[in-house]
Structure 1
Amino acid sequence: MAARVTGYGIHRITFSPDHLEDIADAITRQDIRGLVTANKITIKKVQGTSRGRAQLKHLQKKKRGTKAGSKHGRKGARMGKKETYVKKVRSLRYLLGVAKDRSDIDNKEFWSLYKKVRGNTVRNKAHLRQLIETAKQSREA
């Protein structure tokens, strides 16, 4: 009856062992609904197929053939110039934002460095940190 009232299968419905007498006394549909809201009758969640093994297999497959001897095509064929540039610029801009929030650089210095990042003058994160340090030191002096 509980399965019909709740609309779930009989294998998903569980009765609380402490309240079996209350459940046995329930004769109307309203009684069953009351027991469900009181958590004396609970409904199990649907158990899906685990993707754990599939994910592990995918990782193993992806890892294969990444050493120098397995690579074909030049560097630009594996990851394009634009993709590399966008990745670099995004990380550098994030670093600039963090430095600005920390008040390591003021607004004028921020935009000066921002333009350098856009113009590909800044080589990498270490180079940007170095430029931020020099900007900070020149402001203090």
Structure 2
Amino acid sequence: MKLSIQRRLASIVLKCSPKRIRFNPARLEDVKEAITKTDMRLLSGQGGVRKVSVKGVSRGRARKIAEQKRKGLRRGPGSKKGTPNARLPRKERWVVKVRSQRAFIKELKEKGVIDTRAYRVLYRKVKGNFFRSKRHIKLFMNENDLAKKPESAKGASSSAKKGSPKKVLSKAPAKGVKK
């Protein structure tokens, strides 16, 4: 028994593909007589015609993996595709580092810990990639006495150090001039 016309009509009524249409074997005689969309609507309401639900792709595995990633798993060397530079480009790493170091020395200048001259020295060294981190800046400042001393200690020690100019802050001699 060929029901291709009925199948096509049912697919239009139920808004799906003809492949998804199933007829009730007990109501085949009624289905055979149905030749209009109205007949198909009546049959679908009475259970003579139905559409098969679409098989979906389960997201269960995806949810499990997402949960593991939230916990910080699946980040080992076997899961990495691409070079470290592809995952976090050198330039981005550089920009983050330089911005944080510049913000740090700006904060020191605003607080009055360093003067403008020391700020310029540090700024240029940051630009030249001299410092590894903010901690390295602090270490450099301590070694080269770039931090201003508190007012009480300044008066006593400044007279002893007056004769020795700071090596870091001294300007380079002009080209062609010998010492």
With the length of structure 1 as denominator, give the TM-score of the two structures: 0.50
**Pairing of 1:75-90 with structure 2 (within 5 A):** 75-90=84-99
Larger Rg: 2
Q: Which runs of 4+ in 1 moved over 6 A?
A: none
Identity percentage of aligned residues: 33
Q: 1:136 aligns with which of 123, 147, 157?
A: 147
Greater helix percent: which structure? 1
Q: In the aligned structure 2, how far is the partner of 1:70 from the partner of 1:132?
A: 42
Alignment RMSD, CA only? 2.8
Give the corresponding residue for 1:96: 105
**In the superposition, relative to structure 1, how do residues 100 and 60 fare at CA in structure 2: closer, same or farther (>3 Å)?**
farther
With the length of structure 2 as denominator, give the TM-score of the two structures: 0.40
Give the drift of 1:113: 0.5
User: Which moved further from structure 2: 93-102 or 64-73?
Assistant: 64-73
For these two proteins, the number of residue pairs brought into alignment is: 85
**In the superposition, relative to structure 1, how do residues 98 and 59 fare at CA in structure 2: closer, same or farther (>3 Å)?**
farther
Q: 1:120 aligns with which of 129, 147, 150?
A: 129
Unaligned runs of 5+ in 2: 1-65, 162-179
**In the superposition, relative to structure 1, how do residues 94 and 60 fare at CA in structure 2: closer, same or farther (>3 Å)?**
farther
| Equivalent residues of 1:104, 1:136 under 8 A apart | yes
Q: In the aligned structure 1, how far is the partner of 2:134 from the partner of 2:76?
A: 25
| Equivalent residues of 2:109, 2:115 under 8 A apart | yes
Give the corresponding residue for 2:41: none
Unaligned runs of 5+ in 1: 1-57
**In the superposition, relative to structure 1, how do residues 137 and 98 fare at CA in structure 2: closer, same or farther (>3 Å)?**
closer
Residues 20-64 of structure 1 deviation map (CA, whole Å, 9 limit, x = unaligned): xxxxxxxxxxxxxxxxxxxxxxxxxxxxxxxxxxxxxx8864545
Q: 1 or 2 for the larger relative contact order (CA 8 Å, sep ≥6)? A: 1
